[in-house]
Each structure stands twice: as C-alpha cells, then as structure tokens.
Amino acid sequence: MEFIALSRHTGDMRYAKTAQKIINKIEASDAPLGLYPTHFAQSSGALVRGRSTLGALGDSFYEYLLKVWLLTGKALPQYDEFFGRTAVGITRYMLQRSDTTNNVALAELQMHNSPNNIIRKQDHLACFAGGMFALGSWHGAALELEESEDFEEIGEDITETCFKTYQMTATGISPEITRFDKDVELSVDSGAKHYLLRPETVESLFVLYRVTQDRKYQEWGWEIFEAIEKHCKVKYGYSGIRDVSKLPVVHDDRMESFFLGETLKYLYLLFSEHDLIPLDKYVFNTEAHPLTIFDVREYPELMHVLTSPTG
C-alpha cells in the first residue's frame, strides 16, 4: 500500500515495481491451501516450510491483499482474487468453531501445505481479521466465491471471540496470546499473559460498527476503554501490563507508539460520525494511517507496473 501510494504521489515507479515483484513471486509459489508461511528463502524467494498464521509475522500480508485492491479503486483483479483464495484458506483450515462454547478462534498451521498440524493459539494481533472479513464483505470482495456470502458473519464471530478474551481476565484486558482447546474454550497463554496496549480488537470493533451500525460494538469498545483507563493509566501516560490475570496490576513502564497511533485512534473513530474518514473514501494501512482511495486506471504508468507479470 505504502509503496503504491509513494509511486502515485512522486511519479517514481521504483516503489510500486519493487512491491509488485514480491507479490508476483509469492503468488507464483506453491501454496495449495491458499495459506503462506511466515518466511521465504531470501536467495530464491521459495517458501520455507513452517508456520502459517494471522498473528505475528503473517498478519499484514493477508490484510494488504484486500486493502491494495481497495486502495486502487478495485481496479486490480489480481489482488481481489488473491485475497479470495487466502480468505477461503483461512475459513477452511484456520477457523475453529465450537457449538459448545459458541466461540470462533483462528488457529495457526505448522505446515503451510497441510491442514493437519493445528496449533490452537491465537495472537491478539490476529484480531484484526474480524475487521478484514467485514470490510471485504462491505466492499464486495471476492464475489465470485460462494464463501464470500459468509464473510461478514465470520468477521462478526471472530470479533466477538476477541472481545471475550478481554472479558475472561481479572483486569478485563486481553492477553498477548490466547490458547483454546478442541471446544474453543479460551484461556490465557501461561507464557504470554502480558498486554502491550494493542489495537487489533478495537480496530475490528470500529470496522464492524461502521459496517453494521450495531451499537453493541461501541458498548464493547467502551468496556475495553474503561479497563485500559483503570489498569493502564499512569502518571505520565499509559503502560502495558505484565499479567492481565492478576490484580493489582504490575506495569511494564512502556507505552508503545501504536497505542496513540492505533488503539486510541480507533477508539476515537468508533465513537465518531461515519463521515469522519469514511470507509468508502479511505483505507487504513496496518498502522492505522488513512490513505485516500483512488482509481489507478487514471495513472497509466502505475497501472502498467501493477499489472505487469514481471512487476
């Protein structure tokens, strides 16, 4: 997204060309499940067999397939189709549902080409995916796929489970990593009980509220905000928490930059009018910076770069 925007505004096609070459290489790789590992061989660009995740190291890749399509005015079918394939892979192999708990969680896969090695953990980072599916549905992404009919519901379900990871702790704040069993019963990961002031859940709440206009997403966001105010606010700002399951809290004396740039921004927008940064005119990058949607067909040189098989 950023490299395309740079090329659009500067007229220098090196940025978009560099990014497009990478996308073309990844798309040409062998990924039968529609999912990709977190690492590639630097020398050859080949996939490195390993973990597929919507959490750390994998999240923005899936997010940007949809958002590049949106940013460029829905004029690049490559990105819409690529997003559709990965979305189907996510729903078929990562999404874990339970009729017992009514929870929906996003597992990780140990091998990118096998659905059998499931790791039942969900990073807080993965909670962006609720908003991703809802945004894709609202914009009509991957309409040629039957599965796209369920994208909004999937987004709602993921976001509700992410909110539950806040409700399940003594502080009302989600841990960095949530574990779950075969019934998708949620629990705090014993090795990742901390909270870093992360934004992904409130990001999805913001998108779901804009898409559905259901006020419950504002109510959930307000609960999260109150918990942050109660447990994270310190004399000179806000701090992360070392263990969200224990009271009183112990602060880590760190306020990550994304707390101001993303968490508070999305909370503010959650309670703002819909015409403030409307989702039909802007698309947020992974750090919550709004970029203006434009029709890439009005930029012939950029369009050529982004549709060239060689980038």
Q: Which contiguous run of DSSP H or E holds residue 157?
A: helix 151-167
CA atoms of 198 and 257, how far apart (whole Å): 10
- Considering only the C-alpha atoms of the chain, give the largest distance between any 2 of them, rounded to a whole number of Å: 59
| Measured distance CA(201)–CA(205) in Å, rounded | 6
Q: Which H/E stretch holds residue 303?
A: helix 300-307
- The one-letter amino acid at 62: Y
- Joined together, the tokens standing for residue 217 give 């997403």
The answer to whether 270 and 221 have CB atoms below 8 angstroms apart is yes
Q: How far is CA 297 from CA 76, 112, 201, 238, 301, in A?
A: 9, 35, 34, 44, 9
Instruction: Please report the DSSP string for 222-235 in residue order.
Output: HHHHHHHHHHHEET
156 is catalytic: no
DSSP 42: T
Describe the chain by its helix, strand, coil percentages, rounded to 5.
Answer: 45, 10, 40
Which listed residue (176, 200, 203, 262) is catalytic?
176
C-beta of residue 8 within 8 angstroms of C-beta of residue 306:
no
Residues in the chain: 311
Q: How far apart are CA 62 and CA 135, in angstroms?
A: 13
Active-site residues: which are they?
A: 176
